[in-house]
């Protein structure tokens, strides 16, 4: 039987990562944070002196990444890098390099390699459209830019980082525009994805929504 996949796509800071991780935990599935892969690539490039506009160099670097997920923690070459890649600087760098076609191609097989029994829940920008087009359930999870900026602000403050709400909102709006306009796998809701608008929805409700949608999709398969 084909290993089931739940693909949750959406804009930055929409909460899709938290929802995806909790759905995976509830189902006993593996979890892939595809955005973390781009953040790790940018982090590794900066550590090794590879310029963020060196498309071929980044592609070679990405193809050789020693990457492992343990729940929501991310390990690069045996070192936990979760905190280092969650900064706003890392997010901007990831968004910049994600527009490079050669890099996206290099990471495609790496991402597909996370599809293992009993199943996979993954989140990102093009999980349903490009990486797992045969996903059992595709969800486009979004919220208004203002709500997403506020969520991100609270998340950063809770982790002890300094943050400016107005700057976060501007950064998210610019990132949305960049992600939607890029030539390689632009951010967009596919025709077969279900829309989940979470501006007025808590995490628990969003998780339950996805679990119900998956149960329904599975029963119809």
DSSP 52: T
CATH number of 5-220: 3.40.50.300
**Residue 111: predicted pLDDT:** 92
Residues listed for the chain: 221
Q: Which mean pLDDT values do the consecutive 10-residue runs of the chain (221 residues) have?
A: 93 91 96 91 94 95 87 86 86 88 90 94 93 97 95 89 92 88 81 96 96 94 67
Domain ranges (residues) in the chain: 5-220
CB-CB contact of 16 with 9 (8 Å): yes
What's the rounded Cα separation, in Å, for the pair 131 and 100?
A: 16
- Residue 92: predicted pLDDT: 86
Secondary structure of the chain: what % helix, strand, coil (to 5)?
50, 15, 35
pLDDT at 62: 92
Axis crossing angle, helix 145-158 with helix 165-181, rounded to the nearest 10: 120
What single string gives the DSSP state of each residue in 117-155? TT-EEEEESSIIIII-TT-SEEEEEE--HHHHHHHHHHH
Q: Is the pTM of this model over 0.85?
A: yes
* pLDDT the model gives residue 221: 67
Task: Write down the pLDDT at residue 44.
Answer: 94
- Provide the total of helices (H) and of strands (E) in the chain, helices listed first: 8, 8
């Amino acid at each position: 039987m084909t290993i089931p996949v739940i693909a949750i796509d959406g804009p930055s800071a929409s909460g899709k990562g938290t929802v995806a991780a909790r759905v995976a935990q509830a189902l006993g599935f593996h979890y892939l944070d595809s955005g973390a892969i781009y953040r790790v690539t940018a982090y590794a490039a900066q550590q090794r002196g590879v310029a963020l506009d060196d498309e071929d160099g980044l592609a070679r670097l990405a193809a050789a990444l020693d990457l492992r997920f343990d729940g929501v923690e991310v390990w690069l070459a045996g070192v936990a890098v979760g905190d280092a890649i969650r900064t706003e600087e890392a997010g901007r760098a990831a968004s910049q390099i994600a527009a490079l076609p050669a890099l996206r191609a290099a990471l495609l097989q790496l991402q597909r390699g996370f599809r293992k029994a009993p199943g996979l829940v993954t989140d990102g920008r093009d999980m349903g459209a490009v990486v797992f087009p045969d996903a059992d359930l595709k969800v486009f999870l979004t919220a208004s830019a203002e709500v997403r900026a506020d969520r991100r602000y609270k998340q950063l403050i809770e982790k002890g980082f300094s943050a400016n709400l107005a700057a976060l909102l501007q950064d998210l709006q610019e990132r949305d525009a960049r992600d939607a306009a890029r030539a390689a796998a632009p951010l967009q809701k596919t025709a077969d994805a279900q829309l989940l608008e979470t501006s007025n929805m808590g995490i628990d409700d969003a998780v339950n929504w996805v679990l119900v949608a998956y149960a329904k999709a599975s029963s119809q398969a």
